[in-house]
């Protein structure tokens, strides 16, 4: 038996690889730097997990979220792997001490870019034989790094400090420009690139435009009453996510909860676990939910608000249908919805006055005082502290802010144009990611053709007659008409 297949079956219980996995793993084992883009739900984690059992040393995985790291550690432990750990700020001092004393014994170490930038952590990691340096969700380097998570920009430099081990950058969605950013910031050396289609043909895409927020909420209720579950509803507002979860509960949907970054860590982990084990059927969430949620039977993803960019949309709908069965993505749009992501990006980046004042006061005032006096969000503070500590000039920081604002506004315009377009939604996504569209599935999108009844609970009585347009058909089904 081929050695790769032998390890695959012995350690993971599979008898064959999914498309792309074996080629990526062979490149990793040959110690090439690798950039791999595989669609959400197609087994990216195996590309670094399997090599760990074929080489000496430790696999270091840079991961964006604590919940994602914890989930990955738990998944490995379910497989019988005891030598896996996540380095995060929630560890007790005694746990940290024991972990750092035995860091060289771990097969897998998961860490955030912020923790990786800690000098004490770097000192300990220099004593570890790192056989593979993995950057999971590598698109975050480009999409989050320059403003939301600037410590991502230091990951390539720290890799060099740690001896420049072979790197594997993994992502599900990255345009050519984002892939260039990944290679640049990680300092990848002539990487082998494995770029697979972003398309998930078993996910149908529907956009429905509504006149006002009340109509949108009613449409959501009607939809939830009929759709096969479980599923995720995405919001751009924590408040609206909370209010909608309460609204759905009041309407008789018991297995509903809310998830967003403003909740404490334990509560978020509990909700995630309840969803994974079918104790919850519907999660009203912000974009903080989803990464690492290894749940195969998600039947729908609804966007109550449009995401700020097509990449985010594709990542989020990609959480549906990982079992390969038909699933649906619905975006409910009301005029003015685009103002929400516009306000969000404005709150993430500091204005000129905040930049000037921070650079004037950073040496003489504490962070808490700066937050209060300059009315800084956590994201704005992290951004300013990063560039101040790296001795970037005020003028350059202003320019960085302006460029990022323009970049993000352009992404919003592209997202809204996609919503209002009259052309095949899937073909447009292909084009956005520089792919050629050879075929589209029968259940494609609302612009092409779609039989929405297949996504509804078969126990509900529905009409067998088809209307001539998907909108009429969907509306009749949602209203329960005969």
Summarised one tens digit per residue, pLDDT across range 183-221 is 999 999 899 999 988 888 999 999 999 999 999 999 999
pLDDT value at residue 137: 87
* Residues 34, 107 share a domain: yes
Q: Are residues 218 and 171 in the same domain?
A: no
Q: Are 191 and 207 found together in one domain? A: no
Domain co-membership, 133 together with 168 = yes
Say how far apart CA 173 and CA 180 lie, in whole Å. Answer: 13
pLDDT in tens, 140-172: 888 777 777 888 888 999 999 999 999 999 998
Indicate if 59 and 145 belong to the same structural domain.
yes
* Percent of the chain predicted with pLDDT > 90: 54
Q: What is the pLDDT of residues 319-359, one digit of tens each?
A: 999 888 999 999 999 999 988 888 888 888 999 999 999 99
- The reply to whether 396 falls in a domain is no
Dihedral class, residue 116 (left if φ above 0, else alpha if ψ from -120 to 50, else beta): alpha
DSSP-assigned letter for residue 51? G
Of 156, 176, 195, which marks where a domain is finished? 195
Residue 190 domain flag: yes
Q: What is the mean pLDDT of residues 74-97?
A: 84
DSSP for residue 26: H
Residue 480: predicted pLDDT: 47
Closest CA to 291 of 44, 35, 67: 67
**Domain identity same for 293 and 222:** yes
CB contact set of 106 (below 8 Å; sequence gap of 6+): 58, 83, 84, 85
Which range of residues forms the domain containing residue 216? Answer: 203-337+415-479
What CATH number is attached to the domain comprising 435? 3.40.50.300
**Confidence (pLDDT) at 41:** 66
What is the pLDDT at residue 214?
94
Q: What is the pLDDT of residue 439?
A: 79
Domain shared by 264 and 293, yes or no:
yes
For residue 128, CA distances in Å to 91, 162, 187, 362 come to 20, 9, 21, 35
Q: Could you read off the pLDDT of 100-120 as tens digits, one per residue?
A: 888 889 999 999 998 999 899
Residue 166 covered by a domain: yes
Q: What is the pLDDT of residues 278-322, one digit of tens each?
A: 999 999 999 888 776 778 899 999 999 999 999 999 989 999 998
Considering 150, 176, 195, which residue would you say is the last residue of a domain?
A: 195
Nearest alpha-carbon partner for 347 in 375, 377, 367: 377
The DSSP code sequence of 307-363 is -SSHHHHHHHHTTS-TTSS-EEEEEEEETTTTHHHHHHHHHHS--HHHHHHHHHHTT
Structural domain contains residue 391: no
Q: 154 and 221, same structural domain?
A: no
The contacts of residue 129 (CB under 8 Å, 6+ apart) are 56, 57, 58, 104
Give Cβ neighbours of residue 295 (< 8 Å, ≥ 6 apart): 230, 275, 276, 319, 322
Whether residues 110 and 165 share a domain: the answer is yes
**C-alpha torsion 347→416→195→145, nearest 10:** -10
Nearest to 195 by CA among 16, 433, 437, 439: 433
Q: Token match 């996910």: residue?
A: 203
Task: Please tell me the total number of residues recorded for the chain in this structure.
Answer: 482
Residue 347, domain member (yes or no): no
Spatial contact of 356 and 369, defined as CB atoms under 8 Å apart: no
Residue with tokens 């170490």: 109
pLDDT at 449: 78
259 and 286 Cβ atoms separated by less than 8 Å:
yes
- Residue 466 has a pLDDT of 33
Q: How confident is the model at residue 459 (pLDDT cuts 50, 70, 90)?
A: low
Tell whether 43 and 168 lie within a shared domain: yes
Question: How far are the Cα atoms of 79, 169, 195, 211, 432 from residue 75, in angstroms, in the given order?
Answer: 7, 20, 26, 44, 33
pLDDT at 463 over 60: no
The Cα–Cα gap between 143 and 249 comes to 35
pLDDT of residue 474: 54
Residue 130 lies in a domain: yes
Residue 263 has pLDDT above 80, yes or no: yes
Q: Is residue 259 part of a domain?
A: yes
CB 232 within 8 A of CB 299: no
Does 267 lie in the same domain as 124? no
Q: Would you say 314 and 199 are in contact if contact means Cβ atoms under 8 Å apart?
A: no
Are 260 and 319 within one domain?
yes
Q: What is the pLDDT of residue 39?
A: 78
Residues 410-422, mean pLDDT to the nearest whole number: 94
Label residue 264 by pLDDT band (50, 70, 90): confident
What the block records as the tokens of 168 is 């594997």
pLDDT band at 465 (very low <50, low <70, confident <90, very high): very low
Please give the angle made by the CA atoms of 448, 200 and 337, to the nearest 5 degrees: 65
What would the pLDDT profile of 470-481 be if each residue is shown by its tens digit? 454 554 455 444
- Of 248, 249, 242, 243, the C-alpha closest to 267 is 242
Which of 195, 216, 240 corresponds to the end of one domain? 195
pLDDT at 160: 94
Is 310 inside a domain boundary? yes
Is the per-residue pLDDT at 469 higher than 60?
Answer: no
pTM of the model as a whole:
0.84
What average pLDDT does the structure give for the chain? 88
Closest CA relative to residue 426, chosen from 451, 443, 408: 443
Number of domains in the chain: 2
Token pair belonging to 388: 């101040």
Measured distance CA(435)–CA(427) in Å, rounded? 9
Pick the range with the lowest mean pLDDT from 11-25, 121-135, 413-427, 452-466. 452-466
Q: What is the pLDDT of residue 269?
A: 82
């Amino acid at each position: 038996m081929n050695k790769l297949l032998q390890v695959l079956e012995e350690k993971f219980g599979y008898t064959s690889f999914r498309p792309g996995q074996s080629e990526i793993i062979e490149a990793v084992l040959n110690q090439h730097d690798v950039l791999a883009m595989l669609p959400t739900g197609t087994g990216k984690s195996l590309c670094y997990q399997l090599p760990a059992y074929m080489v000496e040393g430790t696999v270091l995985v840079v991961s964006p979220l604590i919940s994602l790291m914890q989930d990955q550690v738990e998944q490995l432990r379910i497989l019988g792997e005891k030598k896996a750990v996540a380095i995060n700020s929630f560890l007790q001092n005694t746990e940290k001490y024991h972990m750092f004393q035995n860091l060289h014994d771990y097969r897998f170490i998961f860490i955030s870019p912020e923790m990786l930038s800690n000098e004490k952590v770097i000192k300990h990691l220099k004593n570890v034989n790192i056989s593979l340096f993995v950057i999971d969700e590598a698109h975050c380097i480009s999409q989050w790094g320059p403003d939301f998570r600037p410590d991502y920009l230091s990951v390539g430099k720290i890799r060099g400090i740690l001896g420049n081990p072979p790197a594997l950058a993994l992502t599900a969605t990255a345009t050519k420009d984002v892939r260039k950013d990944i290679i640049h910031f990680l300092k990848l050396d002539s990487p082998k690139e494995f770029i697979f289609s972003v398309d998930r043909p078993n996910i149908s895409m529907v956009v429905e435009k509504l006149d006002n927020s009340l109509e949108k909420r009613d449409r959501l209720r009607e939809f939830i009453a009929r759709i096969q579950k479980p599923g995720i509803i995405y919001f751009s507002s924590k408040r609206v996510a909370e209010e909608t979860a309460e609204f759905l509960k009041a309407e008789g949907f018991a297995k509903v909860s809310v998830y967003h970054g403003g909740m404490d860590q334990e509560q978020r982990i509990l909700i995630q676990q309840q969803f994974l084990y079918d104790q919850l059927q519907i999660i009203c969430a912000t974009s903080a939910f989803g990464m690492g949620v290894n749940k195969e039977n998600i039947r729908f993803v609804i966007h109550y608000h449009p995401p700020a960019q097509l990449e985010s949309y594709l990542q989020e709908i990609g959480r549906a249908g990982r079992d390969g069965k038909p699933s649906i993505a619905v975006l409910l749009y009301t005029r003015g919805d685009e103002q929400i992501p516009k306000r969000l990006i404005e709150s993430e980046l500091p204005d000129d006055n905040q930049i000037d004042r921070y650079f004037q006061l950073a040496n003489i005032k504490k962070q808490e005082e700066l937050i209060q006096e300059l009315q800084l969000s956590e994201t704005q503070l992290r951004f300013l502290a990063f560039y101040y500590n790296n001795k970037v000039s005020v003028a350059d920081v202003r320019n960085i802010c302006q460029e990022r604002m323009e970049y993000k506004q352009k992404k919003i315009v592209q997202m809204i144009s996609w919503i209002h377009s009259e052309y095949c939604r899937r073909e447009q996504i292909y084009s956005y990611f520089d792919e050629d569209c050879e075929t589209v599935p029968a259940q494609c999108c609302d612009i092409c053709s779609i039989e929405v009844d297949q996504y509804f609970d078969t126990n509900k009585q529905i009409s067998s007659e088809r209307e001539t347009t998907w909108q009429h058909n969907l509306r009749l089904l949602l209203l329960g008409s005969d």
